[in-house]
A = this chain, B = another copy of it.
Amino acid sequence: MKETAKFESSSGLSRQKIETALKALLALRTLVLAVGNAQNDGEVGTVPEIGVSPFIWRNDGLYIYTSRLSQHVRDLIELGEAGCLLCADEADSQNIWVRCRLKFTVKAVEVSRYDPIFDDLCSEFTTAHGPTMGLIRNFTDFHMFRLVPVDGVLVLGFAKAFRVSGPAFDIVAHLSEA
């Protein structure tokens, strides 16, 4: 029998409940990306760039396929890291002040279209997100990225926020603030 973790007793939510809510967020279809605004001098500008992308989730990270015509994608190529957000629809939010969400930092690694896994990833995108992938698959301004989660925060309600860590979003601690 598993012992009750400290984050379970302090939050009043069982590990199973938390993991079910986490999986529901990972079953969303799109993520929000916030990327530093890369400057020519190697510095980062004050106001980040934002993008919204369909994604697929694998054990080793979240994958997006997106065009460098968008500034945030050029910045992602330049900087190699970003902030990510998965957020439940407003219509599914019981209390709008605490939309269930998972935010986390990622390292971004480009997957070349000549990489042996590229075809598999494209097929998964088609299965998950429909025939648009067939149209954009050969557009060379599009890039495939693996986003590898580093650490983050899972918000499930008032006083129900948790620190998560690593690509599997292991629950590390209950946070008293979020």
Contacts and interface: CB of A to CB of B under 8 A. Distances in A.
Interface of A: 28-30, 32, 34-37, 43-50, 52, 54, 67, 69-70, 79, 81-85, 87, 89-92, 95-97, 99, 101, 103, 105, 129-130, 132, 136, 177-178
Main secondary structure of the interface of A (DSSP, over half): strand
Q: Oligomeric state, in number of copies? A: 2
Given A36-B44, A36-B45, A50-B83, A95 B130 contact: yes
B70 A177 contact: yes
Given A54-B96, A97-B129, A32 B30 contact: no
Contacts of A49: 34, 83
Given A36-B46, A44-B45, 5 more contacts: A34-B83, A36-B37, A36-B45, A91-B91, A96-B129
